């Protein structure tokens, strides 16, 4: 490539702007095509994808941008799972809102980095304002602060990091940031429900405490943490000389959408001088609706995880961690001369983040909030909750399906039971039928386990999904299940 060939690859010149507009338009067409499909998935096998992709990812000379976009369109996008399809209903995987796609265009083209003000300017202030708005939405106090994260995993990890380090400072006068784990580390405990997200255990591992540092509490019939069982667990841990540094409540468990009794958990955490973290990655969006009171007790949290790439319908990745007392971020903060010198008067967000270079993801919820307002969001969130209730009623009335739980949010758990079979056979049939449906591609649904049996799950994330789409999904499942030979599966 000659020096004259450089301009077209960068913004800021006529040649670059022309190329950017053309490439973006081309890319938009490819994306529109990939998200307007008859079925959510074409069932492609990984080996077929491997075959179809060019051998040479880094050829000696490139094919040019237009040809490369065309290749990606046919070899890749055509074989992805269409997250915007009304019969894509497996995971907490949302159809992204148009406002979020527009925000992605702006935030990636301007390429701001939220670690320092001298790489972001106004973008830093937008993130600050978004965090303030979230604090207000969740009813947290004045001194609340927060940071945008890659999602619930990062938010939960950071919350438990701060929780551990504050506890060790206050209880053992020990500075983990400087000196590492204290001698009491083996006895540190995190308490959460048995339905809490796996990232509680994963965080315990990453924090050097190990999975065994997590004590899980049984849930009640509605899959919420059982408060009597919490009492018993805390008593047992106290008697064994353990140090409970965090109580984690879940507002929206992944399978059931169950919301723990947050007020009672807040009381128990306070009695133990433990940090109260609420994982609201899934259920936090209820705060946008007239069902916000179901999150009662959330405002008493020391920290809250929320995901915008779930029920706030923003493109991946986009989450936040809120911390009730800004000073708590200090347990993991540091200053570096080149990035955020202690004597600078300008704001920097890097002191609150576990990342350094960080995307301007705050723009996505910011733009959506401004564009749709609370009303716009409430309509969308309520729509998916209503669809889940209708889907549950449909399953309940179908003779060949068993509804396993009434929906709490927008997940629906069920089992296919077309005829008299024993439990092992039903497990095998449900697993195989779900797998076959994925390969068939007419619908994408999830599997999980409920009370020791194989269950199927709809996570109805698309406000455009109708009851008819749900009915078609069930018909497709019946259809593919006909070819499943339960005899050979359980033999
Ligand atoms: C999705 C989810 C997580 C993990 O968040 P990511 O955004 O996938 O990192 C954690 N907790 C709960 C309750 C979730 O729903």
412-426 pLDDT, tens per residue? 999 999 999 999 999
Percent of the chain with pLDDT over 70: 99
Mean pLDDT of the chain: 96
Domain with CATH 3.90.1150.10 in the chain: 372-490
- The residue among 107, 109, 143 whose CA lies nearest residue 126 is 107
Task: State how far the Cα of 401 lies from the Cα of 397, in Å rounded to an integer.
Answer: 8
With H, G, I as helix, E, B as strand and everything else as coil, classify residue 88.
Answer: strand
How far, in Å, from the CA of 156 to the mean position of ligand 1?
8
Q: Judge if the beta carbon of residue 256 lies within 6 A of ligand 1.
A: no
Ligand 1 atom with minimal separation from the 282 CA: 15
Q: b/e string for 471-486 if b means 16 or more Cβ within 10 A?
A: eebbebbbebbeebeb
Ligand 1 atom with minimal separation from the 152 CA: 5
Domain with CATH 1.20.1650 in the chain: 3-80
Percent of the chain with pLDDT over 90: 94
Class of domain 372-490: alpha beta
Per-residue confidence (pLDDT) for residue 140, from 0 to 100? 96
Q: Retrieve residue 113's tokens.
A: 């980095």
Q: Which protein residue's CA is at the shortest distance from atom 3 of ligand 1? A: 152
Q: Which protein residue's CA is at the shortest distance from atom 7 of ligand 1? A: 151
Q: b/e string for 54-69 if b means 16 or more Cβ within 10 A?
A: eeeeeeeeeeeeeeeb
Across the range 34-48, mean pLDDT stands at 98
Per-residue confidence (pLDDT) for residue 4, from 0 to 100? 65
Ligand 1 atom with minimal separation from the 319 CA: 7
202-229: pLDDT as tens digits: 999 999 999 999 999 999 999 999 999 9
Q: For domain 113-359, which architecture applies?
A: 3-Layer(aba) Sandwich (3.40)
401 falls in which pLDDT band (50, 70, 90)? very high
| Rounded alpha-carbon distances, angstroms, from residue 23 to 10, 28, 64, 98, 108 | 12, 8, 11, 19, 14
With H, G, I as helix, E, B as strand and everything else as coil, classify residue 412.
Answer: strand
47 falls in which pLDDT band (50, 70, 90)? very high
Asked if the model's pLDDT at residue 484 lies above 60, the reply is yes
With H, G, I as helix, E, B as strand and everything else as coil, classify residue 86.
Answer: coil
* H or E element that contains 67: helix 65-75
306-315: pLDDT as tens digits: 999 999 999 9
Q: Judge if the beta carbon of residue 201 lies within 6 A of ligand 1.
A: no
Through-space distance between the first and last CA atoms of the chain, rounded to whole angstroms = 63
How far, in Å, from the CA of 280 to the mean position of ligand 1?
9
Ligand 1 atom with minimal separation from the 307 CA: 7
Asked if the model's pLDDT at residue 2 lies above 50, the reply is no
Asked if the model's pLDDT at residue 32 lies above 50, the reply is yes
Q: Which protein residue's CA is at the shortest distance from atom 4 of ligand 1? A: 152
Q: Judge if the beta carbon of residue 279 lies within 6 A of ligand 1.
A: yes
- The residue among 315, 318, 316, 298 whose CA lies nearest residue 307 is 318
Asked if the model's pLDDT at residue 488 lies above 90, the reply is no
Task: State how far the Cα of 445 lies from the Cα of 459, in Å rounded to an integer.
Answer: 8
114-142: pLDDT as tens digits: 999 999 999 999 999 999 999 999 999 88
Which DSSP string do the residues of 292-324 spell out, in sequence order? GGGGTTGGG-SEEEEETTSTT-PPSS-EEEEES
How far, in Å, from the CA of 445 to the mean position of ligand 1?
18
316-348: pLDDT as tens digits: 999 999 999 999 999 999 888 888 888 888 999
The CATH code belonging to domain 3-80 is 1.20.1650
Asked if the model's pLDDT at residue 278 lies above 60, the reply is yes
């Amino acid at each position: 490539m000659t020096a004259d060939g450089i301009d077209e690859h960068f913004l800021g010149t006529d040649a670059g702007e022309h190329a950017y507009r053309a490439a973006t338009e081309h890319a938009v067409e490819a994306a529109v095509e990939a998200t307007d499909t008859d079925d959510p998935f074409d069932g492609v096998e990984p080996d077929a994808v491997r075959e179809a992709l060019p051998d040479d990812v880094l050829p000696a000379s490139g094919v040019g941008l237009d040809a490369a976009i065309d290749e990606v369109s046919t070899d890749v996008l055509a074989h992805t799972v269409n997250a915007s399809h009304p019969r894509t209903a497996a995971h907490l995987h949302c159809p992204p809102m148009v406002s979020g796609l527009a925000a992605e265009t702006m935030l990636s083209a301007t390429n701001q980095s939220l670690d320092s003000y001298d790489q972001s300017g106004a973008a830093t202030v937008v993130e600050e304002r978004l965090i303030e708005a979230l604090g207000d939405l969740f009813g947290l106090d004045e001194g609340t602060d927060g940071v945008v994260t890659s999602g619930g995993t990062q938010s939960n990890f950071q919350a438990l990091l701060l929780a551990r380090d504050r506890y060790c400072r206050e209880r053992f006068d020990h500075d983990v940031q400087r000196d590492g784990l204290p001698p009491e580390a083996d006895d540190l405990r995190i308490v959460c429900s048995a339905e809490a997200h796996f990232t509680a255990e994963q965080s315990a591992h990453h924090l050097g405490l190990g999975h065994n540092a997590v004590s899980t509490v049984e849930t009640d019939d509605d899959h919420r943490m059982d408060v009597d069982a919490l009492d018993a667990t805390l008593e047992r841990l106290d008697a064994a000389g353990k140090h409970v540094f965090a109580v984690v409540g879940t507002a929206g468990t992944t399978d059931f959408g169950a919301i723990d009794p947050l007020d009672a958990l807040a009381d128990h955490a306070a009695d133990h001088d433990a940090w109260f973290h609420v994982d609201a990655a899934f259920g936090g969006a209820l705060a946008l609706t007239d069902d916000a009171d179901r999150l009662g007790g959330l405002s008493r949290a020391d920290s809250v995880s929320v995901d915008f790439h779930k029920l706030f319908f923003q493109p991946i990745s986009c989450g936040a961690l809120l911390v009730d007392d800004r000073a708590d971020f200090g347990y993991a903060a540091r200053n570096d001369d080149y990035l955020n010198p202690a004597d600078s008067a300008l704001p920097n967000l890097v002191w609150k983040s576990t990342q350094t270079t960080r995307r301007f993801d705050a723009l996505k919820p910011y733009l959506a909030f401004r564009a749709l307002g609370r009303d716009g969001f409430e309509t969308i969130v309520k729509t998916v909750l209503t669809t889940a209730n209708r889907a549950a009623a449909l399953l309940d009335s179908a003779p060949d399906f068993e509804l396993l739980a009434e929906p709490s949010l927008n997940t629906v758990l069920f089992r296919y039971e077309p005829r008299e079979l024993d439990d092992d056979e039903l497990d095998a049939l449900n697993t195989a039928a779900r797998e076959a449906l994925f390969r068939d591609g007419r619908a994408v649904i999830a599997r999980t386990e409920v009370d020791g049996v194989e269950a199927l799950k709809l996570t109805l994330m698309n406000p455009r999904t109708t009851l008819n789409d749900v009915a078609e999904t069930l018909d497709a499942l019946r259809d593919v299940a006909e070819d499943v030979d339960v005899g050979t599966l359980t033999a």
